[in-house]
Structure 1
């Protein structure tokens, strides 16, 4: 969930799409009689608590709200109950009076965790990084707090402060970070000429102008030299608006499916097609992704990969392949409910698995090398408590003993890898904002090298698409 300017915008950014429910079905496992019996049990418990609980201040409404909240928490982590204060905020046109921090958050091991800070926002400038654990908000523990509640507490009037207590593996102790809320105005697109005829475009969020701004960035690069190749950077892009994902995809493909969404019932299917007329096919594209590439960004990466329009390079993406809708219940109440999964043009679900790169690249920044090698520490959809599993027949799961081994191995490494990593940054401020310099970025350089060798690698890359063979892995061992 994105902590930004407007909660309705945040929900759009995280959920990708809000679609109306076409019908209400019942679980195959539960008969009508079972439901009546369960409701009778709930009524008995409610009555018993109201009549016998030691404190007489408890309200019936609080008990019912608590029960609904608990019900939603048995589902996936993107479904939640929206109580009056949160639902009201969601519907208010804030008109610049309320601000946020600019981070995508989720739950990992029941702890509020940063998926990605959005570039140039207050959270980014404060030095928050992926996988940071937020253990307190304004000295209030986040234990037991759901995502909607956390977002509500981090929002507030522009110019006011919020204090986050942050745990990071390299920290010796929890740090308090004070961040000033601001209206989240994102410069979502940046561009640079890497070399004559080879351009770089970075898209950090799918806001309402994403496609138009990407198109302008490409045109600006072509104003210098005719492009022979483009590096399209979607790393640390937490997603955004579905229509912009379709529009951005349409800049590179002009025919066919971009994404499909399928609900529980067979008739709950929607297909989005590329829009004709804007596609550029006169230069090769290398798309960079990582574990913080999520939602709408995964739609674009998956579409360009399935249409063989781009080579995907980097790390497996976050793996959020679900669609949510917001349902108004009256009395200023609402539900945010997962109603469908989305699929790439070839029919792949990226839920939990993410988009698998054609060429795997580690991040060879010395400060991040140890973390890059501990891939089990990357925070992805599969780390969220109660996440939906991928139902594709080819999906595989770790065996219990493998997971136990990973956990054990992680503990053993703490004294060696952690020490090596922290020694290199000991004299630097670990809360310094991340900086992108494309010309000095290892993954960007590798993407550039690929584009220069495009004709040689074109056939190889297509043959090694996921499902037709193993991806190429580039690591320190074969440099």
Structure 2
């Protein structure tokens, strides 16, 4: 099966592994099938030796020194791809493996989350029932060594740590753990570790549910259905669906979720390119939430598959889109494996919303200008003021209900909510950037592990826990080691920091769901959505 991949964010380019079909006569490749079942019958035929191949052959046979031809080929491919659109990329084998894991919905490892605090790897979460939990690892343990590799010191970074603790399922990871001043040898048998794409799904009140979706992975639709079915049983009749900072992923997952909100055989999206015929994707089955009130939250980092979903719901007047203009990535990539284990992810088509909108923003100025466009929105006030939130040359469309919407540069929200202009002071920003804030909350939790025990759920915790009484004074003393004085912090800023402390602390017991349940009580977009749903 071959899948259309529409993930694209300003920071990363990632996609899943595909099954390579049989290599046929003289280098021709039979294409893959799309996830929708449509055959891809592209055949690559080598009719003649190209100038590029001639140059590589001459270098291989005549160059004065030995040379890594594979490296030259990779650099040449990468340079060619740079002349195309910003989302066509070349991935060497090592990068391809990591890219595949990011959207597979799982990986093979030991099942912990970690944070590097003052050059030491601290375990901040142990997945319940996972390999590390079975081996007896605890939150607060420090990983000193993995398979005789030292994990202390400034030379160790997150990438190296992750590569050392991940590995083939069933293989042993021999760890040295520092716990309460003692070094313990613990062997963990690596296993398959799930990476959920939904970070929060809960009832905000008796009828209103909230779902936070981080990305569209191989397991997203299944996760969504499990969450939606559970929430309906709890009384969900209206939903806030949070797609903020969701950079996309698999197009088929977004289409399947859209089908759960739209009735009949409505068009969800269609794709078309010079070498790719128009292909429509329509609703196929009755949806789990076709009639309840729906609000979708988006921002400038919502991209690709997120925009497909938001655009379809907006075109059919099914949801109220709330937030800020989305990223503007409307290109479809198809992966092609190369003979050396590397791959190209090539843009083959544009996608269009049901009423024909292309939301792809211009990229004629080059990749850097394209990616920096989001920062330009900060500079020009587009993220703060509704009047400047529209694309100046965006084409005007009408939804099926007659409302005005725009194409040519992202999905414009129906209800604009600007960024909070009450920024943190320099002192507070410094604490977030240098890790002191997270370091403090982590150690506060280790010193007060039982503090969360009395609270049965995040709602009760949010109502009763007061960080001003238990954490703020300790925090102000903690940061004095960084020569930072918080005595003059304004009251509104202190309140924001306290809420984040409360949310970070909740994460240790209730994971990301607890974090969002705390933060959502004062989140401007969430509060706006609640008002819209109440109309």
Which TM-score applies when normalising by structure 1? 0.54
Which position in structure 1 is the counterpart of 2:534?
452
- Counterpart of 2:326 (choices 314, 317, 320) is 317
Instruction: Indicate conservation of the 8 Å contact 1:207/1:244, yes or no.
Output: yes
Q: Is residue 2:504 matched to residue 1:422?
A: no
Which position in structure 1 is the counterpart of 2:478?
none
- Tell me the distance in 2 between the aligned counterparts of 1:75 and 1:242: 21
Give 3-state SS (helix, strand or coil) of 1:207's partner. Answer: coil
The alpha-carbon distance between structure 1 residues 372 and 326, as it changes in their structure 2 partners (threshold 3 A), is: closer
Superposition pairs for residues 269-284 of structure 1, below 5 Å? 269-284=278-293
Instruction: Indicate conservation of the 8 Å contact 1:253/1:279, yes or no.
Output: no
The alpha-carbon distance between structure 1 residues 422 and 253, as it changes in their structure 2 partners (threshold 3 A), is: same
Instruction: Indicate conservation of the 8 Å contact 2:300/2:327, yes or no.
Output: yes
Instruction: Indicate conservation of the 8 Å contact 1:17/1:324, yes or no.
Output: no
Instruction: Indicate conservation of the 8 Å contact 2:105/2:197, yes or no.
Output: no
Which position in structure 1 is the counterpart of 2:224?
214
Q: Is residue 2:283 matched to residue 1:293?
A: no
Instruction: Indicate conservation of the 8 Å contact 2:240/2:297, yes or no.
Output: yes
- Tell me the distance in 2 between the aligned counterparts of 1:224 and 1:101: 31
Q: Kindly provide the CA deviation profile for residues 98-125 of structure 1, in whole angstroms up to 9, marking residues without a partner as x.
A: 69999xxxxxxxxxxxxxxxxx9xxxx9
Which position in structure 2 is the counterpart of 1:72?
81
Structure 1 residue 446: Cα displacement: 0.7
Give 3-state SS (helix, strand or coil) of 2:525's partner. Answer: helix
Which position in structure 2 is the counterpart of 1:203?
213
The alpha-carbon distance between structure 1 residues 69 and 155, as it changes in their structure 2 partners (threshold 3 A), is: farther
Give 3-state SS (helix, strand or coil) of 1:244's partner. Answer: helix
Structure 1 residue 347: Cα displacement: 1.0
Higher relative contact order (CA 8 A, sep 6+): 1
Structure 1 residue 343: Cα displacement: 1.1
Give 3-state SS (helix, strand or coil) of 2:516's partner. Answer: coil
Instruction: Indicate conservation of the 8 Å contact 1:294/1:318, yes or no.
Output: yes
- Tell me the distance in 2 between the aligned counterparts of 1:71 and 1:250: 38
Structure 1 stretches of 5 or more lacking a match? 27-31, 103-119, 126-137, 142-149, 161-181, 355-369, 379-389, 398-416, 454-479
- Counterpart of 1:440 (choices 522, 529, 535) is 522
Q: Is residue 2:323 matched to residue 1:243?
A: no
Q: Kindly provide the CA deviation profile for residues 417-474 of structure 1, in whole angstroms up to 9, marking residues without a partner as x.
A: 9996434545664667694232221110110011111xxxxxxxxxxxxxxxxxxxxx
Q: Kindly provide the CA deviation profile for residues 143-191 of structure 1, in whole angstroms up to 9, marking residues without a partner as x.
A: xxxxxxx99997564289xxxxxxxxxxxxxxxxxxxxx9452251522
Residue-pair matches, total: 330
Instruction: Indicate conservation of the 8 Å contact 2:240/2:296, yes or no.
Output: yes
Which position in structure 1 is the counterpart of 2:16?
9
Instruction: Indicate conservation of the 8 Å contact 2:203/2:236, yes or no.
Output: no
Instruction: Indicate conservation of the 8 Å contact 2:203/2:231, yes or no.
Output: yes
Structure 1 residue 314: Cα displacement: 0.6
- Counterpart of 1:261 (choices 243, 257, 271) is 271
Q: Is residue 2:196 matched to residue 1:186?
A: yes
| CA RMSD, Structure 1 to Structure 2 (Å) | 5.2
Structure 1 residue 341: Cα displacement: 1.2
- Tell me the distance in 1 between the aligned counterparts of 2:377 and 2:51: 52
Give 3-state SS (helix, strand or coil) of 1:292's partner. Answer: coil
Superposition pairs for residues 459-474 of structure 1, below 5 Å? none
Q: Please say which structure displays the higher CA radius of gyration.
A: 2
- Counterpart of 2:352 (choices 343, 350, 354) is 343
Structure 2 stretches of 5 or more lacking a match? 1-6, 20-33, 114-126, 128-138, 140-153, 168-172, 174-191, 364-374, 384-392, 397-405, 410-420, 440-503, 505-511
Structure 1 residue 278: Cα displacement: 1.9
- Tell me the distance in 2 between the aligned counterparts of 1:17 and 1:285: 27
Structure 1 residue 243: Cα displacement: 2.2
Which position in structure 1 is the counterpart of 2:461?
none
The alpha-carbon distance between structure 1 residues 154 and 317, as it changes in their structure 2 partners (threshold 3 A), is: farther
Which position in structure 2 is the counterpart of 1:107?
none
